Amino acid sequence: MLLFLVLCPIAAAILILIGAPARFTALVSAILNFIVGLVLFLEFDRSATGFQFVSSTVVSTDWGIHFAFGVDGLNLLMLSLATIVTVAAIWFTGNIGNYERGFYASLLFISAGAIGAFASIDLFFFYAFHELALIPTFLLIGIWGTGNRSRAAWKITIYLTVGSFILLIGLIMLYQSLPAAARSFDFRELQSVVARNGIADATQRHIYLLLLIGFGVLISLFPFHSWAPEAYASAPAPAAMLHAGVLKKFGLYGLLRLAAPLLPDGAHYWTGLLVVLLLGNIIYIGLVTIAQRRLDWMLGYSSVMHMGYIFLGIASANAVGNTGAATLIFAHGLSIALLFAIAGQIRERTGTLSFDDLGGLAKVMPFAGLTFGFAAFAAIGLPGLANFASEIMIFFGAFRHGWEMQRFHLFQVATVLALWGVVISTVYMLRAYRATFMGTMPERWEKVADLSRSLRIPAAILIAALLAVGFFPQMVVNIVTPAIRTYFTASK
């Protein structure tokens, strides 16, 4: 099933490029992957530990490289996110115009890159699959984007390339830090070798800092964030859905899977720096988000801001906070994808996303207004939606980290400040909803059409996933927590 998940979008993209019907082929492959991902979720043995559904093919015996895939609770959640958002993004793709085949193929390559990176249990292919998605991202923004698309395409490409290069150096140093006879790219071997031999504290500090910066650039950690809002505002909606909802989570997954569990002393050493930077995401970027006057830019900055909460969960160094971080990765991916999808439909129908030009659209787009409301309330952290359960775990996990120090600690201060981020996100989300869907509607929007019945299906899928995890968070927590405890050795 894992091989199918990885290879299906690649095969579909190749078929499209050689002449197969673009939209039909892309949508069929996305639906098939969605079904396989659902079966994988249902068939996953929650009582077992370690990776399941493992498949491995030797690529290089000298280097210990394997084309290997496996799934545990942590990446099962990532794969579920990728398959859900992929089918929604392709379904929401409207009239492309020129180079339709290239558009759908690029979307599928991004999906394949994310799924391959999440499913890989080999360090080489973990990195390589992520790189597969960078060129399609550049093409989607540069060719089919809006506004200053050329600038946005080059900016995101330069930032992500630099981040990937720094990450590569860190991964090479991690590999070289292991005993020569025990070096391996296999995640399972890495974990056992580090547990047996350890890595010197000074070496851990250097490697962790490189990984934090490398992953941080890919995630849009403050102050390496400026590529994200412009790129998402300029990108076609399906591209923004896939990148903000799925591909950007690669860095967060990498921190949870590799950096923190393999380099606990390095993670502890740089905790203060990470807390300061993540507060920049939550407070500073949150205030910048309030100042935005366009829906697309507001959503772009909102996506950057919410990364701060996930960083806080990762930095908490305990099972509660890290489980919350993993769950929020899933929840945020769904909610931001739905927000970008509705924003794209509004831009397609009105030609603008400026708050000054919009207003009252709920009168002619009631379903779009309802859908946007669900996604906005999820982003705010309203109880009953997945983001709420995730953020609660993060706040409790982060505050507990400080409590163990028996005094009012940095993490308790950070948690209190991060709670103000909830107020900030409430302000800008409700303001955006009011400016877009409420109030007086300009006469020129009276004939604007609501979402078609077909488009209501992917919107319903995203909302259903948000509600399911919101009302029954244990179905995710029970899957993720064992993996966190096993692979995050610094957990308490």
What does the pLDDT read at residue 402? 56
Residue 283 gets which letter from DSSP? I
- Beta-ladder partners of 122: 186
End-to-end Cα separation, the chain, in angstroms: 33
Per-residue CA distances from 204 to 23, 270, 289, 372, 486 (Å): 47, 10, 35, 44, 20
What does the pLDDT read at residue 268? 85
SS3 401: helix
Distance CA 418, CA 346 (A): 31
Kindly state whether residue 58 falls inside one of the protein's structural domains.
Answer: no
- Beta-ladder partners of 186: 122
| Average pLDDT of every residue of the chain | 88
Predicted model pTM:
0.91
Kindly state whether residue 48 falls inside one of the protein's structural domains.
Answer: no
CA dihedral 149, 152, 157, 159 (to 10 degrees): 180
Q: Which residues contact 358 (CB under 8 A, 6 or more apart)?
A: 295, 346, 350, 352, 435, 436, 445
SS3 445: helix
What does the pLDDT read at residue 346? 92
Kindly state whether residue 133 falls inside one of the protein's structural domains.
Answer: no
Binning the chain into helix, strand and coil, the percentages to the nearest 5 are 75, 5, 20
Q: Which residues contact 323 (CB under 8 A, 6 or more apart)?
A: 393, 397, 477, 480, 481, 484
SS3 54: strand
What does the pLDDT read at residue 492? 37
- Beta-ladder partners of 52: 71
- Beta-ladder partners of 12: none
What does the pLDDT read at residue 188? 82
Report the number of distinct structural domains present in the chain: 1
Residue segments in the chain with a per-residue pLDDT below the cut of 70: 402-408, 487-492
What does the pLDDT read at residue 487? 59
What does the pLDDT read at residue 491? 37
Kindly state whether residue 176 falls inside one of the protein's structural domains.
Answer: no
> What is the DSSP annotation of 336-387?
HHHHHHHHHHHHHHHS--BTTT---GGGT-HHHHHHHHHHHHHHHT-TTSHH
What does the pLDDT read at residue 328? 94
CA dihedral 401, 277, 210, 232 (to 10 degrees): 120
What's the angle, vertex CA 111, arms to CA 107 and CA 116, rounded to 5?
150
For 404, the domain range is 270-492
What does the pLDDT read at residue 56? 81
Distance CA 354, CA 184 (A): 52
Kindly state whether residue 37 falls inside one of the protein's structural domains.
Answer: no
DSSP strand pairing (65-71 vs 52-60) = antiparallel
- Nearest alpha-carbon partner for 479 in 327, 286, 306: 327
